Amino acid sequence: MKIAIVLGTRPEIIKMASVIDEIKLKGLNLVLIHTGQHYDHEMSDQFFSDLELPAPDYNIGVGSGIHGEQTALMLEGIERVLINEKVDILLVQGDTNAVLAGALAASKLHIPVGHVEAGLRSFDDTMPEEINRKVADVCSRFYFVPTEQSAINLSLEGINRNKIFITGNTIVDACFRNLKIVKKKSNNGSSIEFAKINENDYNKDSLLKLNELDNILTLTLHRAENVDNFDRLNNIIDALAELVDMNIIFPIHPRTKKTLENFGLFSKLANLKHVHIIKPVGYLDFLSLLSKSFMVLTDSGGIQEEAITLNIPVLTLRYNTERPETIVAGGNILVGSNKEKILEKAKSILYDEKFLNKMKNTVNPYGNGDSGKKIVDILINSYKNNELKIETPEDIMNSFSTEIIAIDEDTTVLNFEKKNNGNVKVVYTNFNDTPSIKFPLGDLNLKNKFIIFDRYKN
């Protein structure tokens, strides 16, 4: 089996690392395609070396640009590679422009697409990521979803349950594997030093010694809806200015550095004595920083997941999230760019032990750290069963009817499907009590539940 992977940005490299490891371990053929969307050493190469990944076979080198232009260049470049390489499947991860371009290019060539971290929805169509993940899901054949909630999102959009696999999130694999390395290093007495940066200058100004700081709050900020908006950025900075009891460490995304400078806000932030702006750091250093932090303030997707994995309270600088599981679990609170709310919650985490413990003692919804293995095992199995071929369906419009059925017999989803020749799409529980939606896992018992069922006619 020959597997292609498209990636282009920092989080994709991190989140595909365990899948790449597993592909190598199983001796499968890998074609690694980097779109070049992130290109600075500290946004790309650093992660290949920290995570010990093979160099990409192709780098399309798209660089930065407006959405249409950037996506078009990737689409063209990925298509060319896929035509040459004749792969059995293409994997994409998450919701960046690389995912949109990769999924579209492959599906038009009838190459099956496996979407890692499929099914996430913020239900906010003003986010470029929401458009990317929805289009990628339309183009996909295999959906590797992190949680039951993301599986339900896809079920409700009509995706066949047999193509949806709840695998957990590969970020947990990355966290657990690399935290071991980080802990070993710090046990050997190595302390981390970061160079602080100035406006228009990435050169060393002064060194920040992590081991000498207390009350560390890690901050990251790069989401377009925050950093391209003066008022939001300014509100966030005003809140940070009042958190003087904390040491705020801010590895700054290049996008954010540029917009802060353009808005004339960089020095306002950099002049705050308790705010330490540093370059984006590598994965091992970032995990070190996170594990020494008492809380995180972020608008990142991946960091919401890492924080709950590491039991670190996180305040998310957004008004919605496609990671609602973290909110329900209690480890994450949405604070938007509202100054008062940021201050109130951050101070509660620092000073109110009960509040802090409630946010820390949560169950990680994203799995045990074996997602990469699960994904590759599913691919190997599907390849063996000849399920990777995309063929024209025959008579699709007449092949089934959709029904709502109340079930009173003791039967699992799989048994019901076999007996009735069809496919369970969605399960509703306890109509008399508090109804809820379940994802139709094969061994789920359907007694006293309602189902939406596609009945095949032949």
- Residues of this chain that bind ligand UDP (CB under 6 A): 10-11, 14, 220, 222, 251, 280-281, 283, 286, 300-303, 306
Residue 15 as a binder of ligand UD1 (CB under 6 A): the answer is no
Candidate list 38, 222, 253, 276, residue with the active-site label = 222
Residue 128 as a binder of ligand UD1 (CB under 6 A): the answer is yes
DSSP run (H or E) holding 248: strand 247-251
Segment near ligand UD1 (CB under 6 A); pick from 5-13, 152-160, 263-271, 411-419: 5-13
In this chain, which of 163, 196, 258, 425 binds ligand UD1, going by CB under 6 A?
258
Taking each helix axis from N to C terminus, what angle separates 301-309 and 283-291, rounded to the nearest 10 degrees?
50
Beta strands in 271-419 (DSSP E): 275-278, 295-298, 314-316, 332-334, 400-407
In this chain, which of 129, 130, 285, 417 binds ligand UD1, going by CB under 6 A?
129
# binding residues, ligand UD1 (CB under 6 A) = 18
Least distance between ligand UDP and beta carbon 11 (Å)? 4
Per the listing, tokens 């490299």 go with 13
Do the strands 275-278 and 295-298 form a parallel or antiparallel pair, or are they unpaired?
unpaired
The string of DSSP codes covering 140-152 is -SEEEESSHHHHH
Q: How far is CA 1 from the centre of its chain?
A: 26
Contact characters 180-219, ligand UD1, x per CB under 6 A: ----------------------------------------
Least distance between ligand UD1 and beta carbon 280 (Å)? 9
Give yes or no for a contact between 438 and 427, defined as CB atoms under 8 angstroms apart: yes
Q: How far is CA 18 from the centre of its chain?
A: 14
HSE-CB at 324 with a 13 A cutoff on CA atoms is 11
| 276 catalytic residue (yes or no) | no
Residue number with CB closer to ligand UDP (168 or 251): 251
Beta bridge pairs of residue 361: none
Residue number with CB closer to ligand UDP (88 or 205): 205
Least distance between ligand UD1 and beta carbon 182 (Å)? 21
Residue 43 as a binder of ligand UD1 (CB under 6 A): the answer is yes
Give yes or no for a contact between 7 and 96, defined as CB atoms under 8 angstroms apart: no
Q: Among 417, 366, 448, which Cα is nearest to 162's?
A: 417
Residue number with CB closer to ligand UDP (65 or 411): 65
Residue number with CB closer to ligand UDP (222 or 276): 222
With CB cut-offs between 5 and 8 Å by kind, which of ligand UDP, ligand UD1, none does residue 97 bind?
Answer: ligand UD1
Beta bridge pairs of residue 201: 198
Residue 345 as a binder of ligand UD1 (CB under 6 A): the answer is no
In this chain, which of 97, 107, 153, 348 binds ligand UD1, going by CB under 6 A?
97
Per the listing, tokens 């899948």 go with 19
The span from the CA of 221 to the CA of 417, in Å, is 47
| Residues classed as catalytic | 222
Which chain residues interact with ligand UD1 by CB under 6 A?
9-11, 37-40, 43, 64, 95-97, 128-129, 222, 254-255, 258
